[in-house]
Structure 1
Amino acid sequence: MAALAAVAAAASLLSATPSFAADALVAISSGGFAEAFKALAKDYPSRAGALPVQTEFGPSMGKTPQAIPARLARGEPIDVVIMVGPALDQLIADGLADGSTKVVLADSYIACAVPAGDPKPDLSTPEAVRDAFLQAPSVAWSDSASGEYIQHELLARLGIEAQVKAKGRQIPATPVGEIVAQRKAAFGCQQRSELQPVPGIDIVGELPDVIQKITPYAAAVVRSSTRRKEAMAFIQFLASRDSAPTVAKSGLHPRQP
């Protein structure tokens, strides 16, 4: 039985592995930069000398097979990674990404949402955020950078860790907005750029500055890439002034080159 389970797990993993185009630059983005990435990758091939971009997606961290570190560890032929800065720094330390090519693209802020049409709680002060967490019958947060901050720092800082964890859960891989839209949680928090494209929710607002956690998004060339020059050209395009309006529209704060 154990052998059969192992075979089934391997088959499942193989079936989830994407196919890669031989003539395309392969870039993978985590959720916070995903909307900007989709639009910019679609536009990029129209530039002189640019390769088409095969877009892939996965969390910056976590234990799911789709997570960027897991995909690189199993040898997927990825050229560019776009992810939260600290997670990218770990890939650089592990020798999977080239630190000399790292470029910070944008900053991301945490926001919170409720199902569309539901009353919006006040989030203007830390005390109001505390009340919003306590009054919600169910709460969700992500397993990426924003959720790690909420689970391991913010709730304790607000003095409500035990109460909220008893009725809340960390969501692996699936966008928190989808959980809120399906009314599987009455209140959910994630980076604004990840909540913004989800239908069926109302974004209440961002966390106040004094308890906000700003997450930088950065890109780098994967060390095993055979298209280093082309990969770096794509990163420079993502960081350019021409790309900044698209990045801002997605809910991020672009870094100016």
Structure 2
Amino acid sequence: MKKPSLVAVASKLGLVLALSSMADLHAAELKVLAGGSMTAVLNELAPQFEHASGHTLVIHFDSTPNLIKQATSEPFDLGVVPIDVFKDAAAKAHFTLPTVDIAHVGYGVSVRKGAAIPDVSTPDALRKTLLDAPSIALLPTSAAGAYVLSVFDRLGIAEQMKAKTKPQTTTGHIAEAVARGDAELGVFLVNVLIAPGTELAGPFPAELQQELVFTAAVAADSRQADAAKAFIDYLRTPAATMVITTLGMTPG
């Protein structure tokens, strides 16, 4: 019989503790807006939360521009989104503040598993690696993608990279494109790049590194505010932070 993983066991134990005070809450269906780069984390944690709490999570993963549109035009109960969403005044007004930081992660470069590992350890090395690559997978229509494009600009290669870039429609497609050989490099958040069929060449050099923070808040007009807050509280438990760490992000 297959033994449950340490992460799964810890998640279940953590949920028992985290949700012990929720016995009197009625089961709710929660609509969650989430950054695409949180897909692996939330897909791992959501079933555990649902099983222990009785609540149901309907999670919509998307890029920052689309999350801003949805927050300002559609009903939802909470968000676990890039902090850039809250830089938009209209979107920010639809959340109850303060926000709670859930995870953060930096940027890096990946290659197909078994391929030669390029040097990305310095700005000059990264610049050469990017210029030498015939193709690069990226999700430009996102907060993370916008930062990557700004790094291309800082390296003085923005124009050259336009012809090399293969835009993807979701974060998950970046690693898939690299694993299939459709793109030689993946350039994005490190946790997104760590996937079957790929290898991490390395993080951006310190001079160009920046971490994207994913933060959570309850929707201002949610009718399930207590249940929404319970999910946010769970994302900060030791069990949940273990999953966040295992999947390539830093909690908090």
- TM-score w.r.t. the length of structure 1 is 0.79
Which of the pair is proportionally richer in helix?
Answer: 2
The answer to whether the Cα contact below 8 Å between 1:88 and 1:218 also exists between their aligned partners in 2 is: no
Cα distance change, pair 29–91 in 1 and its aligned pair in 2 (3 A): farther
Give 1:29's match in structure 2, choosing from 12, 34, 40: 34
Q: Note the C-alpha offset of 1:184.
A: 2.1
**Equivalent position amino acid for 1:203 in 2:** L
Structure 1 residues 244, 94: CA separation in 2 closer, same or farther (over 3 Å shift)?
closer
How far does residue 68 in structure 1 lie from its aligned partner after superposition?
A: 2.4
Q: Is the 8 A contact 2:30 2:224 kept in 1?
A: yes
Matched, 1:79 2:84: no
Q: 1:38 aligns to what?
A: 43
- Identity of aligned pairs, percent? 27
The answer on whether the counterparts of 2:95 and 2:219 sit within 8 Å (CA) in structure 1 is yes
**SS of match in other structure, 2:239:** coil
3-state SS of paired residue (1:58)? strand
Question: 1:92 and 1:239 mapped to 2: Cα distance?
Answer: 27
Following superposition, the deviation at residue 135 of structure 1 comes to: 0.7
Aligned to 1:70: 69
Within 5 A, what are the aligned runs for 1:156-195? Answer: 156-175=153-172, 176-195=174-193
Question: Which amino acid counterpart does residue 83 of structure 1 have in structure 2?
Answer: V
**How many angstroms does 1:179 deviate by?**
2.0
**In structure 2, what is the Cα distance between the partners aligned to 1:171 and 1:45?**
31
Q: 1:70 to 1:58 in 2, by over 3 A?
A: farther
How much does 1:237 deviate?
A: 1.1
Q: Which blocks of at least 5 consecutive residues in structure 1 are unaligned?
A: 1-21
1:95 aligns with 2:93: yes
Structure 1's consecutive aligned runs of 4 or more residues displaced over 6 angstroms after TM superposition are none
Q: Map Cα deviations across residues 152-184 of structure 1 (whole Å, 9 max, x no partner).
A: x20121121121222224333353112222322
Q: Which of 101, 104, 107 in structure 1 is aligned with 2:104?
A: 107
For residues 57 and 230 of structure 1, the distance between their equivalents in structure 2, rounded to whole angstroms, comes to 17
The CA deviation string for residues 92-151 of structure 1, in whole angstroms up to 9 with x for no partner, is 655222223x10111111121112222110111111111110110111222222210111
Match of 1:5 in 2: none
Q: Is the 8 A contact 2:41 2:247 kept in 1?
A: yes
Give the secondary structure class of the aligned counterpart of 1:242. helix
C-alpha contact 1:154 1:211 (8 A) present in aligned 2 = yes
Secondary structure at 2:64 match in 1 = coil
Q: Distance in 1 between matches of 2:104 and 2:203?
A: 13
Aligned residues of 1:27 and 1:53 also touching (Cα < 8 A): no
1:239 to partner: Cα distance:
1.8
Shift of 1:235: 0.5
> Take 1:209 and 1:171, find their aligned partners in 2: how far apart are those partners?
26
Report the CA distance between 1:230 and its aligned residue: 1.2
1:54 CA drift (Å): 1.8
- What is the match of residue 56 of structure 1? 59
Is 1:247–1:254's contact at 8 Å kept on the other side of the alignment? yes
Q: Secondary structure at the match of 2:62?
A: coil
What secondary structure does 2:40 align onto?
Answer: helix
Answer yes or no: is 1:251 the counterpart of 2:248: yes
Structure 2: state its 5+ residue gaps: 1-26
C-alpha deviation, 1:55, in angstroms: 3.8
2:208 paired with 1:211: yes
1:15 is aligned to none
CA distance in 1, matches of 2:155, 2:118: 16
Aligned partner of residue 121 in structure 1, secondary structure = coil
1:141 is the counterpart of 2:143: no
Residues in 2 aligned to 1:174 and 1:31: alpha-carbon distance in whole angstroms: 6
The DSSP-based 3-state class of the residue aligned with 1:71 is helix
2:69 partner letter: A
